[in-house]
Amino acid sequence: MSLYKINEVFESLQGEGSYTGLPSIFVRLQGCPVGCPWCDTQHTWTIDPESELSSAEVMAQNTESSNWFEQSVEQLIQLFADQGYVAKHVVITGGEPCLYDLSAITTRLIDDGYSVQIETSGTYEIIAHADTWVTVSPKVNMPGGKPVLKSAMLRANEIKHPIAMQKHVEELDQVLLLLGDSPIPNVYLQPISQQKRATELAIKTCIARNWRLSLQTHKFIGIE
């Protein structure tokens, strides 16, 4: 039986990428060794056994926390029902969700009529149902020292790349070479922390490359 270490579960709107605006259930998994300096979920990085609580205790928290709970797919689906969630799109994020074998959870959710999306750094093999939508946000030259995998780039349905300066665009150009002759999926540039300079660079580059702009819409409208 597959068990997943979960930092939080909540229902909101997807604020980024192709599914922007879609009601979604977010399942945030615990654990990430990539170490992005600008990460806004650093509380999910470490899996500390002393931080494990019950699902009820974690779900009752209303602030970011390194606490986590462990559940099976069956328990998680029951949690959706107990919470009264109505969204039919599930976003599995982190942390780095591909630390886990996601085949069981993605298969069950798809069989139950959900669409499923994974948000990953591309530094781990993606093990999931074939119909899962994969968003790769390639993390290049991060402190964790983990390379972006060719297999992850080839599996991507969309590529979402945070940028703050020109070197981040150049890093993306390098990682896109992993695709070889394969078609490049839609590329979204996302300004880091909505900085004015980053936003202007993203707009300029998207127009020049025929790429797309991804704004963290949920932050603009003040939702999780």
Is 143 annotated as ligand-binding?
Answer: no
Is 212 annotated as ligand-binding?
Answer: no
Is 45 annotated as ligand-binding?
Answer: no
Is 36 annotated as ligand-binding?
Answer: yes
Is 199 annotated as ligand-binding?
Answer: no
Is 41 annotated as ligand-binding?
Answer: yes
DSSP labels for 50-100? GGB--HHHHHH--S--S-BEEEEHHHHHHHHHHHT----EEEEESS-GGGS
Is 103 annotated as ligand-binding?
Answer: no
Report the chain's C-alpha Rg in angstroms: 17
| Sheet containing 89-93, strands listed edge to edge, beginning at the edge strand earlier in sequence | 69-72, 3-13, 23-29, 89-93, 115-120, 133-136, 158-163, 186-191, 212-213
Is 117 annotated as ligand-binding?
Answer: no
Do the beta carbons of residue 198 and residue 170 sit within 8 Å?
no
Is 14 annotated as ligand-binding?
Answer: yes
Is 39 annotated as ligand-binding?
Answer: yes
Is 133 annotated as ligand-binding?
Answer: no
Is 206 annotated as ligand-binding?
Answer: no
Is 93 annotated as ligand-binding?
Answer: yes
Is 38 annotated as ligand-binding?
Answer: yes
Tokens read off for 183? 């078609």
Is 31 annotated as ligand-binding?
Answer: no
Name the binding residues for [4Fe-4S] cluster: 32, 36, 39
Name the binding residues for Mg(2+): 41
Name the binding residues for substrate: 13-15, 28, 93
Name the binding residues: 13-15, 28, 32, 36, 38-41, 93, 95, 137-139
Name the binding residues for S-adenosyl-L-methionine: 38-40, 95, 137-139
